[in-house]
Structure 1
């Protein structure tokens, strides 16, 4: 299948491009390179630099490449920034995405796979988190993702759009061969921050809150490998075979790890000591967030290959140790 990967030069998108190729599909990438990296893609992958909200540009790509399905990874995703810069987040995550969907409709492209987030749930009513929990985001980032989910429902009903929305937990890790990985500026993900502290690129790693009602007092989160995420997106293709299909899936391992456990895993894998500073809790941090991914496993046959935090950290370390300056762009 000919697949347009919007945001395909970013962290998750670039891993999905490789998975698409491995599965026999033909990916085409559209990215404005605000956060993506051209070096994350091989020269053989058709690449178009531009914005997802530019309808004329997007239409030329859809028509010129005979696109059959669109995958969307091009959201802004910094929670804190979404609070201080809501215009930026609503413009890109909602308005530009709506323009993309409108262009797809006009071009007759009716299959869509969306990168959503567990942040649409806000503070969950129960754990592990299932797809039927109430969605009550506590920040603009989560709200913009929920807004798009609701747009997709409306378009599915009105125009026969077939879509799947995947609600991620904590995407982590890097390709097994160490060729591509995480290179965010600024970096906010825990594992690369801990790795930076281990190798001296950061003075320390802060633990925000040590008195939570968890086994070691630190927050529990569900870390899921980026390649496992990517394979779920491709596994849903066969279900988008009729007009108006709609699917929602949580993607996580279901086995959370605490902040201290992740620090210990980095120390084991790197053989280095991580300087740690204990700090106060951050407002809005739930004690625990982890997925029930039974639906994805049952309906898609999805399995988690990176089923321990050590496997995830090992892949991340392979990338960071061989690319100390990231992609260098």
Structure 2
């Protein structure tokens, strides 16, 4: 009888251990909650900077996000077009001060890249931007966030024949809805006749008046979508008189009607009026001498370029 009781006790203990192992395995495989996902990231302190030399240091594979976490929060799908397939994803920093959640994710593969991912407080994805890159033969990119979470992206690239890298600084405002708005660009990249850098070229241009308007070969007005339907971003580059008159200005304008817009500079008395008619924009300006030479003027009529549509595969 005693032997039977011992056998029952042993079987009970074994069954209990097996049950605990199954429970443990089930808990480990269970999806993470969004607060648990946040805890995988170190809490960042503002101001914050992720320098390129820090990105160049290889991270230990053991610190990478697990595959199930990457797939649960669709990080691989979100970044697939930017990094390809065979990469590891590392949690770098999380910022809780924002009305939306900021996550910095670093990827390691053929290149090392960093991304700013934005989520709402419920864990729904909103937006992303590549803010860091260290790769052979490609521009080096790093970034910083100030105490107000304004984003600055720095790009450095050694141009052919140059002894020192050309640098570009881009300043972005991040709205409470997660929209990135380019507010200022500083660039040291050299330009030759007919060459210029358009800081808003790749931004959204879904509004019917958005697009590129040109006058001659070397002058352009670029209009892009603003944060709201009432706003627009613009960049003006003029090159006249065989390069004797070269000037640029960019900023955020406001539509004053369905076919007119206005820009008022916060740092000077400069005012620019935009009048859109029949795929053209006419520019008139007042007190904008700080942005151009005495003999130069932004005024004129510019014709909208037809957008080249990408061929679709049949």
TM-score range (shorter-chain normalised) is: under 0.3
The structure whose residues are more often strand, as a share, is 2
The structure whose residues are more often helix, as a share, is 1
TM-score, length basis structure 1: 0.25
TM-score, length basis structure 2: 0.26
Whose RCO is larger (CA < 8 A, sep 6+)? 1
Higher gyration radius (CA): 2
